[in-house]
Amino acid sequence: MTTSAPGPDLRVALIGYGKGGAVFHAPLVAATPGLRLAAVVTGDPERAAEVRRRHPDAEVIGAVEDVWRRAAEFDLVVVTTPNDSHVPLARAALAAGLSAVVDKPFALTAADARDLVAEAERRGLVLSAFHNRRWDSDFLTALRLVDEGALGRVHRFESRFDRWRPEAKHTWRDRGERNRGAGLLYDLGSHLVDQAIILFGPVAEVYAELDARREGVRTEDDVFVALTHASGVRSHLWAGALVAQLGPRLRLLGDRGAFTVHGLDSQEERLARGDDPSGADWGEEPKDRWGLLGADGDLAPVPSERGDYPAFYAAVRDAVAEGEPLPVEPHEVIHGLEVIEAAAESARTRRVVRVEPARR
């Protein structure tokens, strides 16, 4: 969990106050000792009113250009806007001399991500991506079990984000084009791919099926991606908006047993209802949400690791203020985008696509 940090608070400007800004970033920044939510950028009057109600100490700024003009008043920018604006806004933040956190997807291409990372390195600024699902309780538990060898030799990882939303919304996310960052491959797929890479390392080959199932949807709302890791493990990943019966959240298969979890980590649900992420019980999962370890006929519940989204911003604080390691390293983000690009190519060509080691 987040701990206190010495010295003056780092001043954070949050760009965007849609779901990402309102549910995730603003509460997590506000709850992190050593960070201060100094400003929120939104031109929407209703969202501005909500900021003033929920975060009365934060200034509402109507135009992002005012942040660049007043850059000396801030230490860190958080970009949580439509996906195709992530790179331009992050680049502008770096040009203004500000470190930045960028919501996923960090960029729409691996090439853009490499350029952005190189720019941050040249300027000596912190740049990281918000892959909060690394701090899900189920994922942390799976990571621990793999590290402990509790499953033996793992041969397959299955992970899914299923939703039942038969009516597509009239939003850029549901009805836009993939080249603008719409669709589930960039949305939930970013989390799925990132978790697989963290668990089992670089990906060598990718096969994908991407479909638009709902009326009016212009890009994929039904995703299947199969990864072959350089380690030999295979990851099978699903994301769907038209799933009336939800599958397991994740499943690990090994030669000594398996681990299966149903249901989502509760942190997003708690943030959405306004719970305080600095609370003493934050990230704890009840026993009925624990996963099962073993083989059929001999299964045992495994206490869930404590979910810890606040750990991301605590690590960002320490990276900016003290030069500590980033919570999400650039090479991991770039490789994840390489995999996403390979998935899009695989679906288009209907073939397995190799991710060349030299590109990492």
Give the Cα separation of 20 and 262 in Å (integer): 24
Nearest to 274 by CA among 47, 70, 22, 37: 22
Rounded to 10 degrees, the C-alpha dihedral 109/175/184/179 comes to: -10
pLDDT band of 287, cuts 50, 70, 90: very high
- Is the domain spanning 10-132+312-325 CATH 3.30.70.100? The answer is no
Report the pLDDT value the prediction gives residue 86, as an integer from 0 to 100.
Answer: 97
- Lookup: tokens for 255: 């030669």
Give the Cα separation of 158 and 238 in Å (integer): 8
DSSP H or E run through 14: strand 10-15
Report the pLDDT value the prediction gives residue 4, as an integer from 0 to 100.
Answer: 47
Strand partners, 142: none
Task: Express each pLDDT in 2-27 by its tens digit.
Answer: 554 556 899 999 999 999 999 999 99
| 112 phi, psi to nearest 5 deg | -65, -40
Pick the CATH number of 135-307+339-359 from 3.40.50.10800, 3.40.190.10, 3.40.50.720, 3.30.360.10: 3.30.360.10
Span 79-92, average pLDDT: 97
Start-end ranges of CATH 3.40.50.720 in the chain?
10-132+312-325
Report the pLDDT value the prediction gives residue 174, as an integer from 0 to 100.
Answer: 84
Q: What is the CA radius of gyration of the chain?
A: 20
Three-state DSSP at 237 gives strand
Number of neighbours of residue 51 by Cβ within 10 angstroms: 25
Q: Which of 144-153, 177-186, 256-265 is predicted least confidently?
A: 177-186
181 has a pLDDT exceeding 90? no
Q: Which residues contact 96 (CB under 8 A, 6 or more apart)?
A: 67, 68, 71
Task: Express each pLDDT in 212-236 by its tens digit.
Answer: 999 999 899 999 999 999 999 999 9
1 has a pLDDT exceeding 80? no
User: Each residue of 12-30: b (16+ CB within 10 Å) or e?
Assistant: bbbbbbbebbbbbbbbbbb
pTM assigned to the model: 0.94
180 has a pLDDT exceeding 90? no
- CB–CB of 338/356 below 8 Å? no
Specify the length of the chain in residues.
Answer: 360
Whole-number average pLDDT of the chain: 95
- Lookup: tokens for 24: 């995730």
- CB–CB of 255/153 below 8 Å? yes
- CB–CB of 165/187 below 8 Å? no
Report the pLDDT value the prediction gives residue 201, as an integer from 0 to 100.
Answer: 97
Start-end ranges of CATH 3.30.360.10 in the chain?
135-307+339-359
Report the pLDDT value the prediction gives residue 173, as an integer from 0 to 100.
Answer: 83
- CB–CB of 316/126 below 8 Å? yes
Report the pLDDT value the prediction gives residue 250, as an integer from 0 to 100.
Answer: 97
Percent of the chain residues past pLDDT 70, beyond the cut: 97
46 has a pLDDT exceeding 60? yes
Report the pLDDT value the prediction gives residue 357, as an integer from 0 to 100.
Answer: 65
Nearest to 328 by CA among 200, 192, 198, 188: 198
- CB–CB of 100/77 below 8 Å? yes
Helices (H), the chain: 19, 26-31, 45-54, 65-69, 86-95, 110-123, 137-148, 172-175, 188-200, 267-272, 310-322, 330-349
Task: Express each pLDDT in 327-360 by its tens digit.
Answer: 999 999 999 999 999 999 999 999 999 998 644 4
Span 108-128, average pLDDT: 97
Query: What single letter denotes the amino acid at residue 174?
Result: D
